[in-house]
Structure 1
């Protein structure tokens, strides 16, 4: 496997000045009817010097191959001259954003979900990117989709489906993103790609079960709220009975206590405001 070899190419300004000088001499030769000398100088200019001039922009590189052999990579930006017979391939070193498409997959418990990820990556090893894979851009797209699918299959969507799950896609966003980033770095290392950041950008139930799952979530929320209300109401009733007993406000038998507890629970746990009923008789009528 080829590994990157960074080389320092000589400056191209001296070669450019040489091109101008040889061009002037060739023009003079043609003017003086020295056609052979003029043609020879033109061949030197256009075959040996001009093809070797390269411009490397910031955050770009030139991968050089000579007769099928990798000779090195120029990463420093500027104007250079290299062997004119080398093949020069530009590889960008800038960071790329991959906005993955929404994928329909099953989570670890079999529920169909929709998931997508945003991945920030850049080329770390230009030799691997050019020579180890056929097309590193396509390789990143395919491997990223495979990693997102594998991640979705490894965890449940939420704790509602699997209460024993330590990490869920919805609840463990940071952990899931970290795992996705690590898996992508392992998959893309062959192509010399480094993943800088990976985040889940879209996560939802598939349309065919979204309504049912929403109702299930609403029911779970209502049950949890009711449980909290009942626990609070029981505590308030207990506190009221204890206060009346401590202050000797009234002595209640078991039947009266049961009636009072029932009335307080109705008032505290009811969804609507209660209408009081004034009893003008005794407590037994």
Structure 2
């Protein structure tokens, strides 16, 4: 029963306030009427009218677009007013204004370990807003600090679930921080929403803003990436060279330009592969002899 009451008390309840302009006009009229009564020596009615007019004026408050007022009476939550403009509520209600506009949170760059244990630097930007004002105010002590701490914790946890980049020990097609930006952003947003739920906060958007290897391994990983790029390029060069040599041999055979025995074919293939796969420009050399002397 107590748990049920607590849960209901933490849910936002819409409060319907009164048009403040009507209340202000009524308060002014009562003050004027009280002043006139005092001039007519009607002391008690005049004082009562003025006190009531001032009492009405004390209940006025202004709300901007996307701004709310959380009303409490002697520590008990009454409701949340989401109206706009000049409003009026019972003057004894304590009114705490709270914006529900979208807010930005820049999670500073953190040094964490990725799934493979490599130290990396990661940062993120989070767009969030208050969804349930009662939860934001009464469920957590300081919802802004709560959001900041939980965002950092979520980012640390996310980084440990993914590898920074593709590697041989990872499954084929496995999402990485570097290549799977969209998937990682969706996962970060989902985790943030789960953590923010207790504070009545919703995640509008979340994106990584910084991703790099930590300074102590950055140079090593750069050399590794360069080596992988060189190996990949070499493989493509060799594949292309073999294709070109095969095409050349077929063209010579089909056009009957020259007849080559297996040994001469091997020499031609060797020379062409050396020329096509070499890093340096080929130097023209005239062979004055034959293959056999």
- Cα displacement (A) at 1:38: 4.5
How many residues were matched structurally?
Answer: 284
Which SS does the other structure have where 1:101 is aligned? strand
* Correspondence for 2:138: 131
* Correspondence for 2:67: 60
Q: 1:1-285 to 2 correspondence within 5 Å?
A: 1=7, 2-31=10-39, 37-46=45-54, 48-160=55-167, 162-164=169-171, 166-285=174-293
What's the TM-score once normalised by structure 1's chain length?
A: 0.94
Which SS does the other structure have where 2:164 is aligned? coil
More off after superposition, 30-39 vs 264-273: 30-39
CA RMSD of aligned residues (A): 1.7
- Cα displacement (A) at 1:254: 2.6
CA distance in structure 2 between the aligned counterparts of 1:39 and 1:210, rounded to whole angstroms = 79
- Asked whether the 8 Å contact 2:129–2:203 carries over to 1, the reply is yes
**CA deviation digits over 1:50-99, x for unaligned, max 9?**
22111111111111111111111110212111011111111111111111
- Asked whether the 8 Å contact 1:115–1:200 carries over to 2, the reply is yes
Could you tell me which runs of 5 or more consecutive residues in structure 2 were left unpaired when the two chains were aligned.
1-6
CA distance in structure 1 between the aligned counterparts of 2:33 and 2:254, rounded to whole angstroms = 118
Could you tell me which runs of 5 or more consecutive residues in structure 1 were left unpaired when the two chains were aligned.
none
CA distance in structure 2 between the aligned counterparts of 1:45 and 1:104, rounded to whole angstroms = 61
**CA deviation digits over 1:116-161, x for unaligned, max 9?**
1111111111111111111111111011111100000001000037
What's the TM-score once normalised by structure 2's chain length?
A: 0.91
- Cα displacement (A) at 1:248: 2.3
More off after superposition, 35-44 vs 101-110: 35-44
* Correspondence for 2:4: none
**CA deviation digits over 1:258-278, x for unaligned, max 9?**
211111011100112111101
- Asked whether the 8 Å contact 2:35–2:50 carries over to 1, the reply is no
CA distance in structure 1 between the aligned counterparts of 2:268 and 2:170, rounded to whole angstroms = 38
CA distance in structure 2 between the aligned counterparts of 1:34 and 1:214, rounded to whole angstroms = 91
More off after superposition, 131-140 vs 233-242: 233-242
- Cα displacement (A) at 1:234: 1.1
CA distance in structure 2 between the aligned counterparts of 1:167 and 1:282, rounded to whole angstroms = 58
- Asked whether the 8 Å contact 1:109–1:161 carries over to 2, the reply is no
**CA deviation digits over 1:232-276, x for unaligned, max 9?**
111111221222222222222232222111110111001121111
